[in-house]
Structures are given as C-alpha cells and as structure tokens.
Amino acid sequence: MIEKIKQIADELVGLAPKSAAEVEDLRIKYLSKKGLIASLFNDFRSVPSDIKKEIGVKLNDLKNQATNRINELAESFKGQTVVENDLDLTRPGTDIPLGSRHPLSLVKNEIISIFTRLGFTISDGPEVEDDWHVFSALNFPPEHPARDMQDTFFIEKDPDIILRTHTSSVQVRVMEHAKPPIRTISPGRVFRNEAISARAHCIFHQIEGLYIDKNVSFADLRQTLLYFAREFFGQETQIRLRPSFFPFTEPSAEMDVSCSLCKGKGCNVCKYTGWLEVLGCGMVDPNVLDNCGIDSKTYTGFAFGMGIERITMLKYGIKDLRLYFENDYRFLKQFQGAV
C-alpha cells in the first residue's frame, strides 16, 4: 500500500497534460469516485490496525496532494479552453453582405457634388414652416391655389403652420440671413396632399438652387444648368428652356434635357418627343429679393428647383414612385456598390 501511495505521489509530480480536457481526464483518473485514490481508500479498510494510523495519514496527504496538483493544472489552462476547442484562427471569415445607398441618396449626392464643384454651398431649412417662408415671401398671391388645403398639409391655422410644399422656402431663409454673393443649393423633403400613385406621392424630395450677386443674368442660369445637365446625363446632352410661370421668378422657364436613352430620336420614356422635363427655373423676382432684405436695385439672381425622384427615375429607368418608399430589399439591392 505504501508503495502504491508513493508511486501515485511521484506520478502526480510528473503530470504534464496539454489541455484543459486532459486535466479533466486526470481528475477523473485520480480523484473521481472510481478513481485510483478512491480505490486506495477502499483497500484501506483491510489494512492491519497497527499501521492504519500511519497509512491513513499518508493516504490523506496523497488525496490533498492530488487535489492541489489537479487544481493547479486546471488553473494553468483557464481561459485557453475556447482556443483549444472552438477557435480556428485559420478559418476564413464569414461574408458581411454589403449594404447599399438608397437611389435617392445616390442621385442627391451626385447633384450636390456637381454644384459644389461650381462653388455652391449646401443649406438646410425646416420641414415644418410658416406661410411667409413657403408662400408669402415668394410672391404667392393670397388666393393662389397652392395655398389650398387640397395641396398643402396644415399643422396649425391662423397663423398658418404647414409642411413645406417645396424647398424654395430655404431660399427665403438663406436670403434673410446671408449677404450676396449667395450661391447655394438646398436638398430636402417636401410634402403635398396628393393621393399616392405610381406618378405622385405625398412626400418627395427636391433640390433648390439659388445664385445672387451683382449682374447675374439669364445667360449665367443657362450656362450653369447646361453644365449640370452634361455632368449628370452625359456630355452630349442638349438642354431646352421653355417659357413657364412661377410666382417667385420672372422670367420663368422649364428645362428639358435631350433624352439620353434614344439620343433625342424619340422613345417611350420621352413619349416620342426626344426631350425630358427636368426642372423649373428663372430669374428671382425683384419682389422676392426685397421681401428677403436684398436690394433688388443692386442685385439680381437666378433660382431653380428639381425633383430628385423624377431625376432618379430618368437615371435608373424606375417606373413607379412608390418603390422609393417601400424599402423592398429586391429593389434596394440593385444599387449595391454604387457610391
């Protein structure tokens, strides 16, 4: 028995397990109910009584030694269990699916980048606006139909607080605070009380442009818009300015670009006209300048406004406005990788 105790004690000193799992095996081998030390305790019952005390002490010492040794070994592998068993550092990583930018953001960013190259700044204004900034300062007569509840969402009546129906309201805010020269574009959301269909929505996005300085002319407007159209739709693009009317510009025009799909020959996108309507523009009405604290005798300016949804439809051949707002993954993932 003494021999056996000594042998196990020596063995314990030389144990060299390589993992936490091996330590566990050793614990079972030496310390479990059916382990080596438990079996020595079994044998201990038949030890003659004259040496029982001596052997008992040795056996208890052995048990303590084994417990301490195994605990010490277990401690040395703490924290490494995962490394040993689960973590394979050579395994290839899992793919992280690439997100995509919303097509409206892509187009908005592209338009911003074109105009910032021309020295335009970006300005912002509130979506919940008062009547002055959306209509009155912009020369809308009191009975103008756009002020009607049919078109405009009202938050409060008298004084009227509304959701802005166009980003032209930001022009007013900029002019009220800045001194010419002013060169700015204002992207943002606008709201109109329209039934939702493939061609209309009650929420959409516009970009407004404003340039005010001494001697700004219609020729400057035309050249700026031609530069924009060629940068955005391609260098061979032609533009056409048709006379139009807006209360806040005089003269006013609408700009068409030559259809980039059929190169002006006529197709179903341009309805066989060869032209696509893109934006409204004009020279800022002197009344508007004066309303906003800019002397219309010294300064002139031009303004333009375009719908981002429409331009995105033309660029990507999107046929239904509602797709922009549905967050359908099958639609959005087609823009993966575009920046």
Q: Which one, 151 or 160, has the nearer CB to ligand DAH?
A: 151
The nearer residue to ligand DAH, 30 or 304, going by C-beta atoms, is 304
Q: Which of 207, 270, 281, 308 binds ligand DAH (CB under 6 A)?
A: 281
Q: Shortest gap between Cβ of 87 and ligand DAH (angstroms)? A: 59
**Shortest separation between residue 195's beta carbon and ligand DAH, angstroms:** 18
Residue showing tokens 């009220």: 176
* 112 to 151: interface string for ligand DAH, x by CB under 6 A: ----------------------------------------
Tokens of 141: 């007569």
Report residue 296 as tokens.
Answer: 């219309």
- Phi, then psi, of 234 in degrees rounded to 5: 120, 150
The rounded distance, in Å, linking the Cα atoms of 336 and 322 is 20
Token representation of residue 163: 């959701």
Instruction: Indicate the residue among 162 and 281 with the shorter CB distance to ligand DAH.
Output: 281
Residue ranges in 228-247 that form contacts with ligand DAH under rule CB under 6 A: 246
Instruction: Return the residue nearest ligand DAH (CB atom).
Output: 305
Q: Region of 130 please: left (phi>0), alpha (psi -120 to 50) or beta.
A: beta
Binding string to ligand DAH for residues 178 to 217, with x set by CB under 6 A, is what? ------------------------------x---------
Query: How far is residue 286's CA from residue 283's CA, in Å, rounded to a whole number?
Result: 9
DSSP letters for 66-135:
HHHHHHHHHHHTTTTHHHHHT--TTSPPPP----B--HHHHHHHHHHHHHHHTT-EE----SEEEHHHHT
Q: Which is nearer to ligand DAH, 130 or 208 (CB)?
A: 208
Pick out residues in 285-324 that bind ligand DAH (CB under 6 A): 303-305
The residues of the shown chain that bind ligand DAH, judged by CB under 6 A, are 166, 168, 208, 246, 249, 280-282, 303-305
